[in-house]
Structure 1
């Protein structure tokens, strides 16, 4: 265990709830730290239900291709906490992380604060102490009351597609959830809006109108579409003819469009736009595994893929991507949290696979037990079984079908475990 791991374990115990949406505790600790959020480079603030991470990764690739130094904050992490905080292009060093976590722990002085709040404060502290040109800030949950929403005047806000998720915190209608996401819109600050359902867009437009915030909306102010082996992005400033995104899946074309609209606002060149779609890296989003124990167990003929999507919109994107791949018998290995719309997720994947093997997510208190996942898969019309773990599931599947395409899916927490063991 590293020093930062030990500190992070202590910080987990400072609040009885994992999630408690409020800005009061965040404002208190930031004041105690000297308000570092006021001293970070210009912020691009990104909210939405799906595509936040991919969109951020493409914006970062485009900015860095132009020579910019870019801070980036994202969550959750997959293999190591350090992934959440990227300082001027590099993952935060262990020594720096441990030092700022200790500083935040001391400033908090044992008062109640959630893990996400105090670690977000740590990210702001790190960003305030290293020169950079931009800060990419991904919302953790919602927007209006998210710990990241303490930036009074970002350079730009971005809202990726909004769909139903986290209903216990954000509301159970698309309008309520869109209202929470739109909470990041600030007076007179431009906002780029990705593809939205009409109900969500109306809420976002109303919020922006009330704040005199200019919008750049997909389908109105900018357009993106596949074109032969590439994509075409078009807005009032012209056309970019670009390669297909290197992130796999048709949904990544829409994410690319959102990123390109943001980059256009920031004055990016055609070369930067090309880099955004061709150089972005974002693990556990339709990622083909190429090494590690699972790949070795699968043998030379099978394919092992990993995807961290965990809601119906993520399932729809995954199903569409699987349909685009060369035909091959496809089997899911699925582990999910008990807080998700599991049946809604599985129903959308049923046409894309021949079977589902359910697993429990190791060391995750909110895992849905494998037997319950398998039962829900049966209700969704899938052939289902359970396995003790992912490795056993892979071995069983390739024993039956050596050329199987195996998709490990259902949770970023499961994806993180897979990447730690096969990274």
Structure 2
């Protein structure tokens, strides 16, 4: 499966094969297994540098990219744990600014897998334990940690006292897990999602969020109040505001105002993600970052497969091709906003369980054609799931070859697994 990845390094491949054999007992929730595994490893999560912990449905990875870039622009050494990987598993573990080497990856995965052989840990629990183990051994000034799924029961949620917690945009995704019946949780879907994400809140730790619809905002507020986490929400009294217009971001909070540049990452939503990262930095006291470093980091941040304009390469040739791993209605709305008023060709691949119209519906006014392709190594929706205009192709290369030479842009979207394959085929490996 593409989740676990392959490697040309035999030692890494051996450990990835062990990872691929792991499974999660049906219905298991909670942090007991990850805590037991970390205890056997010496509790490395208690020895991390100041942690910036980020949850959200959409934008949490981009927010982490902005945080890392801003911290590094200040001269700080930064660890980062993000997911999923696109091409190489190593992308999940960035140690003091560099992707973990194959040699260290093989060693740390073997150590974690050996320590937890009788605990039946999940793939993600092993990944997080390996990340924290390596982070605790290599000096750094800060640690950026992206939640994998949800927040309350996510393996990253063992960190006892981060420097700051943040929640990016909310939307309906991973319904099977995040909307499963439970006691004493909100019934309204978006409120339930908000409740799960807010589960990363910690006593006395600033919780920085976007502004949300009333039912979601109330859910976050109730969790924060119960936990004792001071909350700083966009657009609220005592919170922060950010207006993106022209080529500047006007940011303001209780400490004052900032005029910041637009990100190099395309899309208005990225300006908002950058502002959330700024707000997180401004509402913590563990690590110093100047406004100048914030501006430099906003311009420098890169995050592959999120509205990425692909370079000319063996897959794309000279055509204008965009790549996005979005697969839920919120991502569809963002893509529709970016391509509003344009005609484009959509090449889409989505795994089973995702709503096939999540992107097609919002993008419909812009579509000159729609080609459905398989998602490598995953069960996926057939062409007919995407509506009457959809046609099929055996792979992305065939889909691109069949398009007319009409100078219209192409958007490849629907799955981060598909996005990783596209980057590999076009020789644009994330670094």
Distance 1:347 1:100 in 2: 44
Q: Is 1:214 aligned with 2:230?
A: yes
Q: Is 1:179 aligned with 2:200?
A: no
Alignment equivalent of 1:336, drawn from 347, 350, 362: 350
**Other structure's SS at 1:72 match:** strand
Partner residue, 2:4: none
Q: Any conservation in 2 of the 1:346–1:377 contact (CA below 8 Å)?
A: yes
Q: Is 1:408 aligned with 2:387?
A: no
Distance 1:232 1:349 in 2: 29
Alignment equivalent of 1:363, drawn from 350, 356, 377: 377
Deviation of 1:349 (Å): 1.6
Distance 1:200 1:352 in 2: 31
Partner residue, 1:350: 364
Deviation of 1:188 (Å): 1.2
Partner residue, 2:75: 67
Q: Map Cα deviations across residues 210-232 of structure 1 (whole Å, 9 max, x no partner).
A: 12211111112111112322221
Deviation of 1:20 (Å): 4.7
Distance 1:415 1:77 in 2: 10
TM-score, structure 2 as length reference: 0.91
Distance 1:293 1:19 in 2: 43
Alignment equivalent of 1:137, drawn from 145, 164, 168: 145
Distance change in 2, residues 1:317/1:88 (3 Å): same
More helix per residue: 1 or 2? 1
Distance 2:85 2:348 in 1: 19
Deviation of 1:19 (Å): 8.7
Distance 2:82 2:31 in 1: 18
TM-score, structure 1 as length reference: 0.93
Partner residue, 1:312: 329
Alignment equivalent of 1:276, drawn from 278, 297, 303: 297
Which consecutive residues of structure 1, in runs of 5 or more, have no partner in the other structure? none
**Other structure's SS at 1:14 match:** coil
Distance 2:27 2:135 in 1: 24
Distance 1:43 1:144 in 2: 17
Distance change in 2, residues 1:352/1:402 (3 Å): closer
User: Alpha carbon RMSD of aligned pairs, Å?
Assistant: 1.6
Q: Any conservation in 2 of the 1:68–1:132 contact (CA below 8 Å)?
A: yes
Q: Is 1:226 aligned with 2:247?
A: no
**Other structure's SS at 2:316 match:** helix
Give the ranges of 4+ consecutive aligned residues of structure 1 lying more than 6 Å apart after TM superposition.
Answer: none
Q: Is 1:389 aligned with 2:395?
A: yes
Partner residue, 1:242: 260
Partner residue, 1:375: 384
Number of positions where the alignment pairs a residue of Structure 1 with one of Structure 2 = 406
Q: Any conservation in 2 of the 1:18–1:114 contact (CA below 8 Å)?
A: no
Deviation of 1:113 (Å): 1.3
Distance 1:90 1:247 in 2: 21
Deviation of 1:151 (Å): 0.7
Partner residue, 2:20: 12
Distance 1:240 1:195 in 2: 19
Q: Is 1:256 aligned with 2:260?
A: no
Distance change in 2, residues 1:308/1:20 (3 Å): farther
Q: Any conservation in 1 of the 2:376–2:417 contact (CA below 8 Å)?
A: no
Distance change in 2, residues 1:241/1:376 (3 Å): same
> 304-313 or 343-352: which moved more?
343-352
Distance 1:9 1:18 in 2: 21
Q: Any conservation in 1 of the 2:56–2:167 contact (CA below 8 Å)?
A: yes
**Other structure's SS at 1:59 match:** helix
Distance change in 2, residues 1:342/1:154 (3 Å): same
> 48-57 or 352-361: which moved more?
352-361
Q: Is 1:100 aligned with 2:121?
A: no
Deviation of 1:59 (Å): 0.8
